[in-house]
Structure formats: structure tokens, C-alpha cells
Structure 1
Amino acid sequence: MRSRSLFSLLTLVGLAALLLTACGGGGSKKKASSSSSGQAGGTLITVAKGAPSGSPDPQINYTLQEWQILIISHDGLLAFKRTSGTEGTKLVPDLATAIPKPQDGGKTYVFHIRKGIKFSDGKELKPSDVKYTFERLFKIGQSPNAGTWYNVIVGGDACVKTPSTCDLSKGVVADDAAGTVTFHL
């Protein structure tokens, strides 16, 4: 039961944190070329869908079609290793520096956030942004995932019942100064 709980938490945290959109490393400050000719080499990824499957907001619409886009456009605390075969089913750190060790009998997990991760607007990712993501998941009131996956977080059941007043302050504790976000189940 304990390993199932750990696997569920790590999977859910990894997937939910994918909701932190457009995060990326520091990147180069080099200006893009204004040349109209293309550059040889590289990889072009084309995502084609027959029809929209719903909202592009991953906290509202979570389908296989959307997952195919989310996996290449979003980062999470954890991610599946990006490789083929059984290696591709292994969880690896993404926005977190490492996979956390369970504490308190598997009910507490402390994630250390990598430094230098920025949103597309240049704002640096903070642990409080991760906490906001989880509270928003409940507050939008339309998430098909909130009650089925995240009610194990302390305060999650109350958030399912009254989304507009969701308070996960005892279940998701962000410490921006320390660079950590702690989950209590």
C-alpha cells in the first residue's frame, strides 16, 4: 500500500506540475535572425488533431490528445524519462532537483525546486507558484482531476466540496526562501 501511495503521489505531482506552463531554463540572450531563409538541420515537431478536444487548460481538460501537447510544452516537478521502451516509464526530476524521499510514513514529500527556471515572461519560478497551481486546480471548479487525484492532499477533500474557498495551506507548504514545496497527505 505504501509503494502504491508513493507512486500515486509522485505521478500525480509530476502530472499536476505540468500545469506550470512555459517554464524553461535561462536560455540565451542572443537575438533571433531576421533572415527570411531557413536554417538547415534541427527537428520539426508537428502536432495534428482532427478537432479540438476542449480547453487548452490542462487543469480543465485532461485527455490523451491534450497529453501529447502537454508533454512537449509543459514542465512538472517530475516527469517521465523522455526515451523509448521501459526506460520511458521511469520518473525523473524535472523542475525538482531530485525525487523526494518519503517522510512521516509516506505522508510527507519535500521537493527542492531547481534555481533559474523562468516562465515565458521572464519571471522566475518559485515554490509558491507550485502551491498556487494546486489551489487553482480546485478553485476553478471544473477540473475532472481535482477530486479523483488530489483529494489525498491535506485539505483536498474540503476543496472538492467548496472550491471557491480552497485552502491547501496545511497540505501544500511553499517556502520561497528555502526553495522548497512540501506536500502533506
Structure 2
Amino acid sequence: MKKVKWLGAITVLSGAALTLTACGNNNNNNASDKKVSFKEAVPKKQVKKGGTLKYAVESDSPFTGIFLPELSDTITDSEIQSPGLEGLFSVDDSYKFNNKGAATFKLDKNAKTITIEVKKGVKWSDGKQVTAKDLEYAYEIVGNPKTKTS
């Protein structure tokens, strides 16, 4: 019985010593005293024409390759297409739509309609102007009852 009491006392003292050592004052604070500063601006370089963008995404789901946001239903597809997608509308700091994006809109709540006008100079990657017909297609897909959209 004496051995058990003696062993218990040593265990308690060892635990107390370890606790005091872990919680002790460490005078080696050199790492936290160093001030780290980063440049606030990135140097601007000439834009290169042409080239190839290599992009990798690690995912456990397969890449389906659907680049229409209206039909894409996987995170992998959405993540891969995101650098190439520009929204039509811009939002302010309160996430309210404004007319500073690629298109302007006029909302008529009484008539339950919205008029969208694409600004001049908004072009596809091949240089062709974006038209109303291009935008209409997306809304036709979403509004079609045969499309499994929610």
C-alpha cells in the first residue's frame, strides 16, 4: 500500500512540475517582436498576349465539363469556370445590385418585369459583342419546366 501512495505522490508532483513548466514565462519572444511588412501594391507588368493557363483542382468528384452556370451542378465545374466568368451586374458593399457592371437594368415591380441592357464594348472572348439574344438563352433554360432547375 505504501508503494501505491508513493507512486501516486510522484505522479502528482510530476504532473504539477510539467504544468508549471508549460505555463511558465518564456523570455524568448524574439519571433513575436519581429515586425513583418508586405508591399501594398503589386508591380504592374506588361500583359502577354497568347499563352496557356494551367489550372489544377483537387477533387473527389469527377469533372463533368459543363461550363454553363445555369446547368452546372458540381462545385468542381463551378470552381474551374469561375476565373472566366464575369457577372452582368455589379453589387455594392451591401450586396445590392447596381448599374456599374457589364449591363444595366430597370426593374418594374408593378409589371413584374426587368429590362436588361448590355453596355457597349462587352464582348465574348472571341471579340464578338454580347447581345440580348445571348442573355435570353440563359433565362430560357432556367425558365423551362423540362430543365431540372430549382
Point out which structure has higher relative CO (alpha carbons under 8 A, 6+ apart). Answer: 1
The structure number with the bigger radius of gyration is: 2
TM-score (norm 1): 0.40
